[in-house]
Amino acid sequence: MVMGDVLILLTLFYILSQIRSESTDDTLVLVHTIFRHGDRNPDLLNLFPKSPYYNESFYAPFGYGQLTNKGKVRAYKVGTDLRERYNGFLDETYNIDLIEPRSSDFNRTKGSLEVMLAGLFPPTPDLVWMDGFNWQPIAFNYVERKYDKELFCYGCPNWDKEINSYLTSEEGHVFTNKYQDTFKYIAKNTGEDITEILQVYYMYFGFTIQEELHLTLPDWTKEVYPEPMKTIAIEYYNLMFSTPNLMKMSGGYLLKKIFSDTRSKINGALPRRKMYIYCGHENNIASVLKILKCREDDEIPGYGAYVLLELHYINDTYGFKLFYQNYNTTEPILLRLPDCDEFCPFEKFISVAEEFIPKDESICGTGSSSSAENFASVSHFIYVLVLILNLF
């Protein structure tokens, strides 16, 4: 009996070790991570002067639009989760060539990226530079908003033109007109002149954030919040996927960069690079999933949600496995592109996205170039020191 148990145990260990060795570590070549910043306060855009919570003192000490402590904890956990997931692959000792982290040009994404990196790369003993201080500086880049084609489509001169030409089209009018009663009701109760679906979209996020902050919403909102405001917000959201050019601007430039970096890795130009990290907004994640035909149309990716594009080398072929973490489940979900296996060969993967990959800068419009990179400045360094001191 005892011998039998031991044998069963040994067999189990053997099977488990086989599963482990077949898992990501030995076939993984490169990872692209795109994550949404942590919890934040509402921006003025999300508020209206007659709101009982208009005053910035409700959002102290961080201020309008800023990352909150809850948001820092959430972004930090993205870092520790990825450290756990990739520990056998991603060196524990940080090196400047190992990763390329980039943020959008917002305080809340820069702060989120900094704490995420603190979770991903706590200093190994040889990198500790101050005793008892479990943090090291990690440089990241960002591109000024009006030039950031990859993470901030609203900076493209053609973005507004394209959205407005849709909204003023017949189809667009039908779209806006069906919500006129809701618009009137909101206008009456807020004192705002509500003419555009975009205003309702902003207000919807204002209300959700106030609920997260445990502020009690005024009674009149019960008529329209969450529904139909949520549906209106999601429909506005899906507007950004309503024409091929909007798709190209909202996610095409980012995927173009991801594909080009992947090619460089495959060609041997980036021997030490293991991970690209992008910290952006819910639309960055939604757009990439949409272009890859893996998006659920009624979902707005939550704080700390992330997408992983894992480049593997399996059976003499490079290909991607696409994962999405929206916290429905503990582990990220493995998604399957249409007509492709879960391990999808690189060229096939590209062909799924191809129609939405912009050929050049003209889709975005003039004024865009990616030459405006800035390195994280001393103020970010001090900012993260303050963040970390708060955390520990």
Ligand X SMILES: *[C@@H]1O[C@H](CO)[C@@H](O)[C@H](O)[C@H]1NC(C)=O
Residues in 273-292 that interact with ligand X by CB under 6 A: none
Q: At residue 90, what is the residue type?
A: L
Which positions ≥6 away from 192 have C-beta within 8 Å? 48, 50, 186, 199
Q: What is the 8-class DSSP label of residue 40? A: B
Q: From residue 197 to residue 226, what is the string marking binding to ligand X with x (rule CB under 6 A)?
A: ------------------------------
Considering the complex, state which of residue 63 and residue 157 has its C-beta at the smaller distance from ligand X.
Answer: 63
Question: Does the protein bind ligand X through residue 59 (CB under 6 A)?
Answer: no
Question: Does the protein bind ligand X through residue 68 (CB under 6 A)?
Answer: no
Q: Active-site residue 196, yes or no?
A: no
Question: Does the protein bind ligand X through residue 164 (CB under 6 A)?
Answer: no
Q: Active-site residue 342, yes or no?
A: no
Q: How far is the CB of 121 from ligand X (least distance, A)?
A: 25
Considering the complex, state which of residue 363 and residue 384 has its C-beta at the smaller distance from ligand X.
Answer: 384
Considering the complex, state which of residue 315 and residue 330 has its C-beta at the smaller distance from ligand X.
Answer: 315
Q: How far is the CB of 338 from ligand X (least distance, A)?
A: 15
Q: How far is the CB of 157 from ligand X (least distance, A)?
A: 20
Residue among 358, 331, 383, 382 at smallest CA distance from 159: 358
Question: Does the protein bind ligand X through residue 69 (CB under 6 A)?
Answer: no
Segment lying near ligand X (by CB under 6 A), choices 219-227, 302-310, 320-328, 346-354:
320-328
Q: Are 194 and 200 in contact (CB under 8 A)?
A: yes
Q: Tokens 């900094």 label which residue?
A: 114
Q: Are 285 and 34 in contact (CB under 8 A)?
A: yes
Q: What is the distance between the alpha carbons of residues 39 and 51, in angstroms, rounded to a whole number? A: 21
Question: Does the protein bind ligand X through residue 270 (CB under 6 A)?
Answer: no
Single out the residue of 35, 48, 106, 356 in contact with ligand X (rule: CB under 6 A).
106
Q: How many residues bind ligand X (CB under 6 A)?
A: 13
* Phi, psi angles (nearest 5°) of residue 7: -60, -45
Question: Does the protein bind ligand X through residue 29 (CB under 6 A)?
Answer: no
Question: Does the protein bind ligand X through residue 142 (CB under 6 A)?
Answer: no
Q: What is the distance between the alpha carbons of residues 43 and 61, in angstroms, rounded to a whole number? A: 14
Question: Does the protein bind ligand X through residue 17 (CB under 6 A)?
Answer: no
Considering the complex, state which of residue 123 and residue 301 has its C-beta at the smaller distance from ligand X.
Answer: 301
Evaluate the omega torsion of the peptide bond into residue 122 and state whether it is cis, within 30 degrees of 0. no
Q: Are 36 and 283 in contact (CB under 8 A)?
A: no
Considering the complex, state which of residue 46 and residue 326 has its C-beta at the smaller distance from ligand X.
Answer: 326
Q: Are 98 and 91 in contact (CB under 8 A)?
A: yes
Structure tokens at 291: 């272009």
Q: From residue 331 to residue 370, what is the string marking binding to ligand X with x (rule CB under 6 A)?
A: --x---------x---------------------------
Question: Does the protein bind ligand X through residue 245 (CB under 6 A)?
Answer: no
CB atoms within 10 A of CB 212: 15
Q: How far is the CB of 60 from ligand X (least distance, A)?
A: 9
Question: Does the protein bind ligand X through residue 24 (CB under 6 A)?
Answer: no
Annotated catalytic residue: which of 192, 196, 282, 299?
282
3-state SS class at 314: strand
Which positions ≥6 away from 47 have C-beta within 8 Å? 53, 54, 206
Q: What is the 8-class DSSP label of residue 251? A: I
Where do the H-state alpha helices sit in 96-196? Answer: 107-120, 157-167, 170-177, 180-190
Residues of this chain that bind ligand X (CB under 6 A): 55, 57, 65, 106-107, 296, 314-315, 324, 326, 328, 333, 343
Which residues are the active-site residues? 37, 282
